[in-house]
Structure 1
Amino acid sequence: MNDPVPATGRQFEIAHGAARAVVTEVGAALRAFEVGGVPYSETYGPDEQPPSAAGAVLVPWPNRVADGHWTLDGEPQQLALSEPARHNAIHGLLRHAPWRLVEHAESTVVLHAMVVAQPGWPVPLLTSIGYTLDDDGLTVTHTVENLGARATPFGVGVHPYPRAGHAETDDCVLRLAASSVLPVDPERLLPTRPPRALQGDEIEFRTGRRLAGVLLDTAFGGAAPAPDDPRERIRHTLTDPTGHGVELWADPVFKWVQVYTADDFPGRGRAVAIEPMTCPPAALNSGEDLLVLQPGETWIASWGLRPL
């Protein structure tokens, strides 16, 4: 008799020196990332459903679509309401899908998945994700290819829960390379007005704000590399009281970052998600920062985690 398959499918482990990461078959999610036994992302068991969307790949849109409704070339589209309590479609179409393994080497794993033409999404897409460990940490590379006969808008995001080693989340300092925030309805978490500049205590996120007492489920925009960054990377950081922790870097196309403070992450309690996104919530309707793929065209971009 074959052994039972974990809830998250097969587990693909990669390693480089003292670094180790585990990626799941279902959802192609990052389940663990550590260096020398020190955790730099929250983890969970292979038989557990990813808590609070941990590690989820958000394709072909991140965050929420109000009522699951949008239009393509004037044609109404109706997505399944995957967040029924708020009457929204949320986090794309591949969170619970099995991804196909196409490469698994010592320090690299690559998986593919199809976004098939379906109700609410008429254009087929081939998407892949590659996880690679090297001396600099973990690099995650996304590709999306339009297999259809018409252009389509889309967005990409991911839902990691970085952690600053063994430090308690409330003792950590979060710094964001963002300049604006998107106001939302607190009940449905949908935008209520255009992005606005950071104000009040929000400005502290630019230089670093301690997370004790901070509650967030917030989209920050205007994320951009520092003018003098030699690699032209957006850089968000989560650090402990000694200044050590983790950097989440991203290519400039990831202009948005959703930050979510979860108080009940299994086995951890207080945890924080730092989610790079190419577009804000509800972008399929607002059009803000949506990417567009022509037939046969391929898009590629990367982000990563680097211990500090």
Structure 2
Amino acid sequence: MHEPVLATGRQFEITSGTARAVVTEVGAALRAFEVDGKPYVETYGADRLPPGGAGAVLVPWPNRVADGRWVLDGEPQQLPLTEPARHNAIHGLLRHTPWTVVEHAESTVVLQAMVAAQPGWPVPLLTSIGYSVGDGGLTVTHTMENLGSRSTPFGVGVHPYPRAGDAATDECTLRLSASTLLPVDAERMVPVRPPRALEGDELDFRTGRPLAGLLLDTAFGGAAPAPGDEHVRHALLGPDGHGVELWADPVFRWVQVYTPDDFPGRGRAVAIEPMTCPPNALNTGTDLLTLHPGETWMAHWGLTPR
């Protein structure tokens, strides 16, 4: 008799010194990351689907597409409505797809998947994600390759829930590099106006603000490296000033912050989701990337204990 297949498929552990991460076969999601036994992302059981999209890889677009509709070269496209209550397509096409392992060493695992040409997405893409742990924490590498005969727009995002060790979420301070906020429809969560500048209001997290009492499902833009830095940096810090930093290449100009109160075994949690483009970018064109036939794109982000 066969053993039941876990909801997230096989589990791939990587280690380096006291750093450890676990990546799932289904969705290539980050299910755990810890250093010295201290957790730096929220985790969940391998026998269940990732709660709230935890650790998900969001390709070939992050966040939402209103009504699942967009246009490529004048041709209307209709994506499946994977967020039916809001009549949106959400978070790409590979969250529930088994990925193929192409490399698995002690401290590194690389997985690959095909975005097949299909209704709503006519251009085939090959994508990979590599996770590596070391003294500096966790480094994640994304690639996208256009296998088709026409150019296509695309975006990339990820959905980690960083955790400042054992500190409760409401005891933590959030710091973002973002300088704008994208107003959205409160019911459908798609943009209704251009981004507005953040200048010292309660949602300006550039110098850090406590999370206690804040309910967020908010897209922030204008994320950019500080002068002299090469990376965008966000951070979640506990009351002792220690926690975790999420760094990303400058192409990740956007970050979605989501604060659910029902994360299993944890209650309040916070997702800090680096994205190359905002919600509904396939329609607005804002910060969309373009991949030409035969072209490959690469970008990085990571988590560093602080």
Residue equivalent to 2:160: 160
CA–CA distance in 1 between the matches of 2:114 and 2:202? Answer: 39
Residue equivalent to 1:115: 115
Residue equivalent to 2:135: 135
CA–CA distance in 2 between the matches of 1:172 and 1:222? Answer: 23
Residue equivalent to 1:279: 277
Residue equivalent to 1:298: 296
The answer on whether the counterparts of 2:156 and 2:276 sit within 8 Å (CA) in structure 1 is yes
Give SS of 1:153's match.
strand
Residue equivalent to 1:289: 287
Measured against aligned partners, the alpha-carbon deviations of 1:109-141 in whole angstroms (never above 9, x if no partner) come to: 000000000000000000000000011000000
Look up the equivalent residue of 2:259 and give its one-letter code: T
Offset of residue 199 of structure 1: 4.0
Offset of residue 5 of structure 1: 1.5
Q: Show structure 1 runs of 4+ deviating over 3 A.
A: none
Offset of residue 94 of structure 1: 0.1
Look up the equivalent residue of 2:48 and give its one-letter code: E
Offset of residue 203 of structure 1: 5.5
Give SS of 2:205's match.
helix
CA–CA distance in 2 between the matches of 1:215 and 1:296? Answer: 43
Give SS of 1:170's match.
helix
Give SS of 1:205's match.
coil
The answer on whether the counterparts of 2:123 and 2:152 sit within 8 Å (CA) in structure 1 is yes
Residue equivalent to 1:233: 231
CA–CA distance in 2 between the matches of 1:228 and 1:238? Answer: 22
Give unmatched runs, 5+ long, in structure 1.
none
Matches within 5 A, 1:77-88: 77-88=77-88
Give unmatched runs, 5+ long, in structure 2.
none
CA–CA distance in 1 between the matches of 2:58 and 2:161? Answer: 14
The answer on whether the counterparts of 2:86 and 2:187 sit within 8 Å (CA) in structure 1 is yes
Look up the equivalent residue of 1:124 and give its one-letter code: P
Residue equivalent to 2:260: 262
Offset of residue 179 of structure 1: 0.4
Give SS of 1:201's match.
coil
CA RMSD, 1 decimal: 0.8
Using the size of structure 2 for normalisation, the TM-score is 0.99
Look up the equivalent residue of 2:275 and give its one-letter code: M
Residue equivalent to 2:40: 40
Look up the equivalent residue of 2:11 and give its one-letter code: Q
Determine whether 1:18 maps to 2:8.
no
Look up the equivalent residue of 1:271 and give its one-letter code: A
- % identical aligned pairs: 79
Measured against aligned partners, the alpha-carbon deviations of 1:240-277 in whole angstroms (never above 9, x if no partner) come to: 01110000000000000000001000000000000000
- Alignment: residue pair count: 306
Offset of residue 204 of structure 1: 4.0
Look up the equivalent residue of 1:75 and give its one-letter code: E
CA–CA distance in 2 between the matches of 1:144 and 1:228? Answer: 28
CA–CA distance in 2 between the matches of 1:153 and 1:128? Answer: 17
Residue equivalent to 1:201: 201
Determine whether 1:221 maps to 2:226.
no
CA–CA distance in 2 between the matches of 1:17 and 1:298? Answer: 33
Look up the equivalent residue of 1:159 and give its one-letter code: H
CA–CA distance in 2 between the matches of 1:286 and 1:255? Answer: 15
CA–CA distance in 2 between the matches of 1:6 and 1:36? Answer: 27
The answer on whether the counterparts of 2:179 and 2:204 sit within 8 Å (CA) in structure 1 is no
Give SS of 2:201's match.
helix
Residue equivalent to 1:150: 150
Residue equivalent to 1:185: 185
Look up the equivalent residue of 2:18 and give its one-letter code: A
